[in-house]
A and B are shown apart, each in its own frame.
Chain A
Amino acid sequence: MTAVAKGPAIPVAAPGVPSTLADLPRGESARIVGLSATAPEMVCRRLRDLGFRSEVEIENVRCAPLGDPVVFRLCGYEMCLRRAEARHVLVDESWAGNGR
Chain B
Amino acid sequence: MTHHAVAAGSGDHCGSGGGAAVSTDLPRIALIGSPNAGKTTIFNALTGLRARTGNYPGVTVARSVGVTKLPATDDGPAGRLAIEDLPGSYSLHPVSPDEEVVSDLLAGRLPGIGRPDALIVVTDATTLQRSLSLIAQALSVGLPTALVLTMLDEMQLRGGTIDPDAFSRALGVPVVGVVANHLGTHGRGRGLDDLRALCASRASWRTVAVPPPTESPELDAWISSVLRAAGYRAPQPDARTRRIDSVLLHPGWGMVSFFAVMFLFFQVVFTVAAPLQGTVESFFGWLGVLADEHISNELLSGLIGSGIIGGVGAVLVFIPQIVLLFLVIALLENIGYMARAAFLMDRVMARTGLEGRAFVAMLSSFACAVPGIMATRTIPSSRDRLATILTAPLMTCSARLPVYVLLVGLLVDPGTRWGPIGVQGLVMFGLYLLGGVSALAAAAFFASTMLRGDLLPFYLELPPYRFPSLRTAVLTMWDSAKVFLRKAGTIILITSIAMWFLLNLPMRPEQTADLPPAQATAYVMEHSYAAAVGHAIEPIFAPLGFDWHIDIALIGALSAREVFVATLGQVAAADEPGNPTQALQAMTFTDGPHVGEPLFTAPTTIALLVWFVYALQCMSTIAAMRRETNSWRWPAFAFAYLFALGWVLAFVARWLTIWIMG
**A75 CA / B232 CA spacing, docked (Å):** 11
Which range contains the number of A residues in contact with the other chain?
35 or more
Closest to B94 in A: A46
Whether B130 and A76, one on each chain, are in contact in the complex, defined by CB atoms closer than 8 angstroms, is: yes
Cα–Cα, bound, A56→B255 (Å) = 32
B591-645: which residues lie under 8 A (CB-CB) from chain A? none
Query: What are the residues of chain B within 8 A of A2 when measuring CB–CB?
Result: 242, 246
User: Is the C-beta of B127 less than 8 angstroms from some C-beta in chain A?
Assistant: yes
- CB-nearest residue of chain A relative to B455? A40
Q: Are the CB atoms of B216 and A48 closer together than 8 Å? A: yes
Residues from chain B with a CB closer than 8 A to the CB of A68 are 346-347, 350
Known contacts A62-B245, A65-B255, A69-B346: A55-B459 contact under CB 8 Å: no
Q: Are B129 and A79 in contact (CB under 8 A)?
A: no
Which of B216, B234, B251, B456 touches A76 (beta carbons < 8 Å)? Answer: B234
| The stretch of A5-13, A14-22, A80-88, A91-99 that contacts the partner chain | A80-88
Cβ of B496 under 8 Å from chain A? no
Cross-chain contact A46 with B459 (CB below 8 angstroms)? yes
- Pairwise interchain contact A67-B347, C-beta atoms closer than 8 A: yes
Select the residue from A1, A68, A79, A81 with max chain B CB neighbours within 10 A: A79
Q: Is residue A53 contacting chain B, with contact meaning CB distance below 8 A? A: yes
List B228-266 residues whose CB lies under 8 Å from chain A.
234-235, 237, 242, 245-246, 249-252, 254-255
Check B234 against A75 for contact (C-beta < 8 Å).
yes
**Chain B nearest CB, measured from A52 CB (Å):** 9
CB distance from B151 to the nearest CB of A (A): 11
**Contact of B91 with A by CB under 8 A:** yes
The distance in angstroms between the C-alpha atoms of A84 and B456, with both chains bound, is 11
Q: What are the interface flags for B20-56 relative to A under an 8 Å C-beta threshold, 1 for contact and 0 otherwise?
A: 0000000000000000000000000000000000000
Q: Are A49 and B216 in contact (CB under 8 A)?
A: no
B344 touching A64, Cβ below 8 Å = yes
**Distance in Å: Cβ of B431 to nearest Cβ of chain A:** 27
B160: interface (CB < 8 Å): yes
**A4 interface contact, C-beta 8 A:** no
Distance of A66 Cα from B252 Cα, bound (Å): 10
A75 to B458, CA, bound (A): 18
Interface status of A51 (Cβ within 8 A of chain B):
yes
Given known A75-B129, A78-B462, A80-B343, contact A65–B250 (CB-CB < 8 A): yes
| A48 (CB) vs chain B CBs: closest residue | B216
Q: A45 with B93: in contact, given A66-B347, A75-B127, A76-B160 (CB under 8 Å)? A: yes
Contact between A64 and B249, CB atoms less than 8 A apart? yes
Given A51-B133, A80-B462, 10 more A-B residue pairs with CB atoms under 8 Å apart are A46-B91, A46-B456, A48-B216, A49-B93, A51-B130, A53-B220, A64-B347, A76-B126, A76-B235, A78-B463
A–B complex contacts, Cβ < 8 Å, 23 sampled:
A40-B455, A42-B95, A43-B457, A46-B95, A47-B457, A48-B216, A49-B91, A51-B129, A53-B216, A55-B220, A62-B249, A64-B347, A65-B344, A68-B346, A76-B127, A76-B130, A76-B160, A77-B127, A79-B459, A80-B346, A82-B458, A85-B458, A85-B459
